[in-house]
Structure 1
Amino acid sequence: MSYNPLWLTVLQAPFVQRAFIAGILISVAAGLVGYFVITRKSAFAAHALAHIGLPGATGAVLLGIPVLWGMGLFSIGGALVIGALGKRASDREVATGSVLAFATALGLYFSNLSSGAAKQMQSILFGSVLTITDEQLFTFAAFDIILLAVLLLIFRPLLFSSLDENVARAKGLPVTLLGIIFMIMMGSVITVAVPAVGTLLIFALVITPADTAMMITRSPLRAIVMTIVLCLIAMWGGLVLSTIFDMPPSFVIVSLSVVIWLVVKGLVALKR
C-alpha cells in the first residue's frame, strides 16, 4: 500500500468515471435482491450461485464465446435447479450444496483443459471494475430496468412468501414459482456484477449491506433503499480509497462494506 499523489487526476480518468457509473448500476441490482436474500434465508444460495457460474465462465473461454454468456447460462441454470428442488428452506440447503459441489468440480476440470481458461480464473474470481466498458454499462442499465420491472410485479407476494412461507403457501400463493423467479433474479444479479467485483466478492455486496440496512430499519421499502445506498457508499468509497492508496478496488470495496456492517452491528449491540 502506497500513497498516490496524483489520485485526484486519476479519479477524473474516463475508465474511473465508468467504474463510478458501474457502481451505481451494480448497487441498484444488489440492493433490490439483497433484502430478499436475507429475509428468505438464502445467503448460502447467493454464495453458491456466484461459484456455480464458474464452470460457465471457464467453459465459455474454451468455446471462444463471451464469458458473461457462459456464466449467465450456468448461474441461471443453477438457480432453476435449486429453486425447483428446494421447495422449502431446508430442501434448498441440500439442493444448493449438491449443485455447488458439481459446478465447482466442473469449473476446475474446464480450467485444466485450457491455459486460457486458467488465466481467466483470476478476473472471474476477483473481477476488475476499472476495466468496465461502455457496452457493459448499457447491459447493466438494461438489466436494472428489467429487474425493477419484475420486482414491481411480484413484490407483494414475494415479500409475503419471504416473511412467512408456510402461511403464504396456506393462502394459496405460488410459493415454489416465486422461489424459482427469485433464484433467477439472484443468479442474474450475480452474473451482471461479476465483471466488476468477481465471484468471490459479490457475495459481500449482496449480503452485507442488506443485513446492515435491516439492523437499522424494519420497513422493507426503507431497507431496500438503504441497502442500495450502502452498496453505493462501499462501491464509490472503495474506488476512491483504492485510488488514493494504490490498492485493489475489489478488496477495498468489500472491506469497506464489512467495516460499515461491523460498526452498525456494534452500535446496535450497545443500544440494546
Structure 2
Amino acid sequence: MAVPALDWGDVFSFEDYGALLQLVANSVIAGAVLGIVGGLIGVFIMQRDMAFAVHGVSELSFAGAAAALLFGGSVVMGSLVGAVAAAALIGVLGSRARDRNSIVGVLMPFGLGLGILFLSLYEGRSANRFSLLTGQIVSVSSPDLGWLIGISVVVLIGLLVVWNPLRFDSLDGQSAAARGVPTAAVSLVFMLLMGLIVAVAVHIIGALLVLALLVTPAAAAMRVSHGPLAVPLLAAAFGFVSAVGGILLAIAGTLPVSPYITTISFGIYVVCRLVAWRRDRALRLAVATQESRAVAA
C-alpha cells in the first residue's frame, strides 16, 4: 500500500494571512514580551545551572492550569499559582544543588500526574487540554493578554532591581556571601521571578516545551559571547525571534505553535554553536601559527 506523499499545502497555507494575523495579534504581542523577558532570565538560569528546575516548575504550572480548567477558573491564574508554589518550594528547600535536583525530581512526576488527572476528568473541548501541553496561538484573550504582560513587566522590573547581586551570586556564590550579599534571599526572589515567567510560557508554548524559550536562547547567546551586556541582549533577541517567528509561521500552518518555536530556537542554537566552533578553530590556528613562528625564530 503506497504511502501518500507529504503535501506542504497541508502544512503551510498563506491564504487570508492578514485576517488570521489580526485574530492572533494578542498572541504575537504576548510571545514578543515572553521571548524578551524569557531570554533575559534564561541567562541566570544557565549561570545557576537550573534548567532542570524550569521543567519542574512548568509541570506544577501545568497542574494548576489543568485544575483551573476543570473547575472553571482562570487558566492564567491557575498556572500562576502552580508555578509560584513550585518555585517557592524549590527556592526554600533547595538551597544546595543536590537538594534542589531531588526536590525537582519529586515535583515533576507529581505535577504531571496531577495535571493529567485533572485533564482526564475535564469534559470540555479536547483542544483546551492539548493547548496546556503544546501551546495554542488563539487562546490569548484580551484580559489574558493584560495579565501576561503585567506578569512579564513585574519579572522584568524584579530582574533589574536584583540584577547586580543576582549576577554576583550566580557567578560566584561563595564570594557573594562573603561580601555580604543575602544569597538566600536573592535565590528565593529569583525562583519566584522564574515561576512567574514560567506561568506565562506555559500559556503560550505549553508545559512540555518551556525550555525552548527560557533556556535555549540564553544557551545560544553564551556560545557566541561572554560579555555581561552582550549575552543578555543576544538572549533577548534570540527569544524574541523564536517566539514571534514561531507564532507567525504557526498562523499559516496546521500544527500547534510549539514545533515552530522550538525549531527556530534550536536552529539559532545550532548556528551559534557553528559560529563558536569556527571562531575557536581560527583562534587555535592563530595560536599554533604564532608558536611555530616563535620556535622558528
Does the residue aligned with 2:138 lie in a helix, a strand or coil? Answer: helix
Aligned residues: CA RMSD: 2.1
| Separation (CA, whole Å) in 1 of partners of 2:117 and 2:243 | 33
1:165 maps onto 2:149 in alignment? no
CA separation of 1:149 and 1:254: change in aligned 2, threshold 3 A: same
The 2-side partners of 1:270 and 1:205 are apart by: 25
Structure-2 separation of matches of 1:241 and 1:111: 28
Say if 1:90 and 1:24 are closer, same or farther in 2 by CA, change over 3 A.
Answer: same
Tell me the matched-pair count: 271
Structure 2 distance, partners of 1:191, 1:20, is: 17
Identity of aligned residues (%): 30
Q: Residue 35 of structure 2 contacts residue 242 of structure 2 at CA under 8 Å; is this kept in 1? A: no
Instruction: Supply the AA of the counterpart residue of 1:4.
Output: S
In structure 2, give the amino acid aligned to 1:251. Answer: P
Q: Distance in 2 between matches of 1:110 and 1:130?
A: 22
| CA shift in 2, pair 1:7/1:244, >3 Å | farther
* Displacement of 1:62: 2.9
TM-score (norm 1): 0.91
Which of these residues, 90, 95, 98, is aligned with residue 106 of structure 2? 98
Q: Per the alignment, do residues 69 and 18 of structure 1 end up closer, same or farther by CA in structure 2, a change over 3 Å counting?
A: closer
For the 8 Å contact 2:133–2:208, the answer to whether it is kept is: yes
Residue by residue over 1:17-41, the C-alpha shift from the partner in whole angstroms, topping out at 9 and shown as x without a partner, is 3332222211122122111000000
Partner of residue 42, structure 1: 50
Q: Deviations over 1:105-143 (max 9, x none)?
A: 322333333334976431110111233222222222222
| 1:7, distance to aligned residue in structure 2 (A) | 5.8
- Corresponding residue for 1:191? 199
2:224 match: 216
Q: State whether structure 2 residue 235 is matched by structure 1 residue 227.
A: yes
Equivalences for residues 65-214 of structure 1 within 5 A: 65-116=73-124, 120-214=128-222
What amino acid sits opposite 2:15 in the alignment? L
Structure 1 runs of 4+ aligned residues shifted over 6 Å read none
SS in 2 for 1:269: helix
Partner of 2:268: 260
Residue segments in structure 1 that go unaligned for 5+ positions in a row: none
Higher mean displacement: 231-240 or 115-124: 115-124
Determine the C-alpha separation between the residues in 2 that align with 1:4 and 1:41. 40
> 5+ residue gaps in structure 2?
1-7, 281-297
Residues 31-75 of structure 1 deviation map (CA, whole Å, 9 limit, x = unaligned)? 221110000000000111111212212222232211221221111
Of stretches 105-114 and 27-36 in structure 1, the one that deviates more from structure 2 is: 105-114
| Alignment partners' CA distance in 1, 2:62 and 2:248 | 29
**Which range moved further: 27-36 or 246-255?**
246-255
